[in-house]
Chains A and B, each alone.
Chain A
Amino acid sequence: MIKDITIGQFFPGKSVIHRLDPRIKLLLTVMYIVMLFIAKSFSGLGVGIVFMLISFLLSGIPIKMMLKSIKPIVPIIIFTGILNLFFISSGDVLFEWKFIKITSGGVTTMVFMAVRIILLICGTSLLTYTTSPITLTDAIERILSPLKVIKFPAHEIAMMMTIALRFIPTLIEETDKIMSAQKARGADLETGSLIKRAKALIPILIPLFVSAFRRAEELALAMECRCYHGGEGRTRLKQLKTAPRDYVAVAIGALFIAAVILLNRFSPI
């Protein structure tokens, strides 16, 4: 059933990583991404790996969950890997056959890129595993709120994200129901040519859109009835507060970035 798809992969827990201020976690994730992109050598990536492993071990997320997050991007890794392998020609030639030429430069780039992509995904997954979607949007709102002076609608965007996240499971359930109802009327969703199958989606998509719009309208009305008028003057139930551990975490992140910069300068590989 469609319902089995997991979205919003929050994995509740009480680890130190879970308890970090979400704004700090976002900042650390950005620092980590910077780390990965400025690293020019394997030793630089190694620093990223160490940073990632420490956070991972502290978070108490099962290794199985981590592997699950990598699975969907395996095709991308393979695809970029093949491109790098065949189209980069630097270093020694390792293998040559007709127009195919594989060089040591190609192999190194392939491995380097693959490791980098995997690290990127692991890091960002760790963020979403340890931070609930609602907290995350809260943090994004707070980070973007200085932009309000230039009329950037930070609160509205965060509210839209929150609502979207809230309604994903509802819409999935609804899709399931409509699919069953149309199947009961003999709709065939599984067989036939591509065009036929695309056409078979119409009886599902139209009711889904209709009900999504209806829901949106009802929600808007309900919010207005409760005097919702945007972010101005709104206080919040959960205040975000930074603790000493947050500053320690940022300091550690900065040290790791410094390490990568130093390695770029002085390490040959």
Chain B
Amino acid sequence: MGIIRTEDLTYVYGEGTPFRKVAIDKINIDIDEGEIVGVIGHTGSGKSTLMQHLNGLLKPTSGKVYIDGEELFADKSRLKDIRFKVGLVFQYPEYQLFEETVYKDIAFGPKNMGLGEDEIDRRVRETARLVGLGEELLEKSPFELSGGQKRRVAIAGVMAMEPKVLILDEPTAGLDPRGRDRILGLIKEYHAEKGTTVLLVSHSMEDVAKTVSKILVLSDAKVFMYSDRSSVFARADELTSMGLTVPQVTRVFDRLRAMGIEFDDEVFSVDYAKDLVLKLLEEKRRH
């Protein structure tokens, strides 16, 4: 049994009003420990709603959520501990910064966990280094930083709690390509270093393809499929009809394959594609 499991999880916004809306409908997922999973789906497919169930911020209308084998909402007093176990970084997390200094803001979560001074200090410095915030920034006010830096402070604030599961809701929204790559890179690095289970919510197939190994596709409040990268992208036509796109390079290489050129592997990133093409040309020249 995986670290995250749901059973017929359903949530309805505005029950009993004219604005009733089923945001997620009978979701059954089972995610193994240590996995790095991309969650994709069109706007309004229920991604954020599902994520907020995984640390007990929303109470299911029906169905169950199990984290590490423990049922959420079975015992309300355990909820806070579960929130430390499942770290959730919201969409546009920089708007939740409030402390006088970056240091104090990152320390907010660990402090709420009741850790000792030394342990807090270690965690703050370690995560700051991990997300690429220099020592000199720690004593600055978070409101003086750039958008991308603020985003990294907010992510560090959750990482510093060292949760067993880290969920990031659209961590790259509104950033330029460089900021985006930087965030995705640090998520990958964090995953590699800590072995934490990571859920990465995104609109962008490109982002997801670069970062994760398995993909959960949501469509109209339901799970469309949960599988590894290549089997998801193999259903490119269905994804396109749902308003999602397969990464452009993947499409180009699918087309090349259809034209009879052999590749060993699915291609998800431009860098990898470049190497592949260069190798191919090299081989051709030698023949």
From the candidates A180, A188, A206, A211, name the one contacting B90 in the complex (CB within 8 A): A180
> A146 on the interface (CB 8 Å rule)?
no
Given A177-B90, A187-B112, A203-B108, do A182 and B161 touch, yes or no (CB 8 Å)? Answer: no
Whether B95 pairs with A188 at a CB distance below 8 angstroms is no
B108 surroundings in chain A (CB, below 8 A): 185, 187, 203
Which A residues are CB-close (under 8 A) to B113?
186
Cβ B97 vs Cβ A184 within 8 A: no
- The answer to whether B83 and A184 touch across the interface, beta carbons within 8 angstroms, is yes
**Inter-subunit contact A181/B93 (CB<8 Å):** yes
Is B88 in contact with A188, judged by CB distance below 8 angstroms? no
Q: A178 and B96 in contact (CB under 8 A), knowing A184-B83, A184-B87, A186-B112?
A: yes
Q: Is A199 an interface residue (CB 8 A)?
A: no
A46, CB-defined interface residue at 8 Å: no
Q: State whether B98 touches A181 (Cβ < 8 A).
A: no
Q: Which of B57, B98, B143 sits near A202, CB closer than 8 Å?
A: B98
> At the interface, yes or no: B80 with Cβ under 8 Å from chain A?
yes
Nearest-neighbor residue (CB-CB) of B154 within chain A: A181
Q: Which positions 81-101 of chain A face chain B at CB distance < 8 Å? A: none
- In the complex, what residue of chain B is closest to A200 when comparing beta carbons? B112
Given contacts A178-B95, A207-B96, contact A185 B158 (CB under 8 A): yes
Residues of A within 8 A of B60 (CB): none
In the complex, residue of chain B having the shortest beta-carbon distance to the beta carbon of A174: B95
Given the interface contacts A184-B83, A186-B80, A186-B84, does A207 sit within 8 Å of B98 by beta carbon? Answer: yes
Inter-subunit contact B83/A207 (CB<8 Å): no
Interface assignment of A54: CB less than 8 Å from any CB of chain B: no
Flag whether A183 is at the interface (Cβ < 8 A): yes
In whole angstroms, how far apart are the Cα atoms of A206 and B143 in the complex?
Answer: 11
Q: Which residues of A contact B101 (CB under 8 A)?
A: none
**Contacts of A182 on B, CB cut-off 8 Å?**
96
- Scoring B residues 153 to 172 as 1 if CB is less than 8 Å from chain A, else 0, what string do you get? 00001100100000000000
Q: Which of A177, A181, A182, A202 has the most CB of B within 10 A?
A: A181
Verify A188–B96 contact, CB threshold 8 A. no
A160 CB to closest chain B CB, in angstroms? 24
Task: Check B90 against A184 for contact (C-beta < 8 Å).
Answer: yes
B55 touches A206 (CB 8 A): no
Contact with B109, one of A177, A185, A206, A211 (Cβ below 8 angstroms)? A185
Interface size on A, residues (CB 8 A): 18
Interface residue ranges of B81-133 to A (CB < 8 Å): 83-84, 87-88, 90, 93, 95-98, 108-109, 112-113
Q: Which residue of B lies closest to A178 (CB)?
A: B96
Which residues in chain B, 135-163, are within 8 Å of chain A measured between CB atoms? Answer: 143, 157-158, 161
Q: What separation, in Å, do the CA atoms of A99 and B112 have in the docked complex? A: 53
Min CB distance, B25 to chain A, in Å? 20
Cβ proximity bits B49-93 to A, threshold 8 Å, 1 near / 0 not = 000100101000000000000000000000010011001101001
Least distance between B79 CB and chain A CB atoms (Å) = 9
Instruction: Chain A residues near B109: list those with CB within 8 A.
Output: 185-186
Determine if A203 and B90 form an interchain contact, defined as CB atoms under 8 angstroms apart.
no
Given the complex of chains A and B, what is the CA–CA distance between A180 and B161 in angstroms?
16
With A183-B57, A202-B98, A206-B98: A188-B112 Cβ-Cβ less than 8 Å: yes
Contact B80 A181 (CB under 8 A): no
Complex alpha-carbon distance, A180 and B83, angstroms: 11
Q: Report whether A207 and B97 are in contact in the complex, using a CB–CB cutoff of 8 Å.
A: yes
Determine the distance from Cα of A136 to Cα of B35 in the docked complex, in whole angstroms.
56
Give every chain A residue within 8 A of B83 (Cβ-Cβ): 183-184, 186
**Whole-angstrom distance between the alpha carbons of A174 and B161 in the complex?**
24
The answer, yes or no, to whether A194 is at the interface (CB within 8 Å) is: no
Confirm or deny: A210 has a beta carbon within 8 angstroms of a beta carbon on chain B.
yes
CB distance A181 to B143 under 8 Å? no
Specify which of A186, A187, A210 lies most central, judged by the most chain B CB atoms within 10 Å of its CB.
A186
- Tell me the bound Cα distance from A206 to B104 in angstroms: 14
Question: Of the candidates A174, A180, A188, which one forms a contact with B52 in the assembled complex, judged by CB atoms under 8 Å apart?
Answer: A180
Q: Mark A213-240, 1 if CB is under 8 A from B, else 0.
A: 0000000000000000000000000000
Please list 12 pairs of residues, one from A and one from B, whose beta carbons are closer than 8 Å in the complex, sorted by A's number: A177-B95, A181-B90, A181-B95, A184-B55, A184-B88, A184-B90, A185-B158, A186-B112, A187-B108, A203-B108, A207-B97, A210-B98
Chain B residues in the interface with A (C-beta under 8 A): 52, 55, 57, 80, 83-84, 87-88, 90, 93, 95-98, 108-109, 112-113, 143, 157-158, 161
Please give 7 more A-B residue pairs, beta carbons under 8 A apart, in addition to A180-B90, A187-B112.
A181-B95, A181-B96, A184-B87, A184-B90, A187-B108, A206-B98, A207-B96
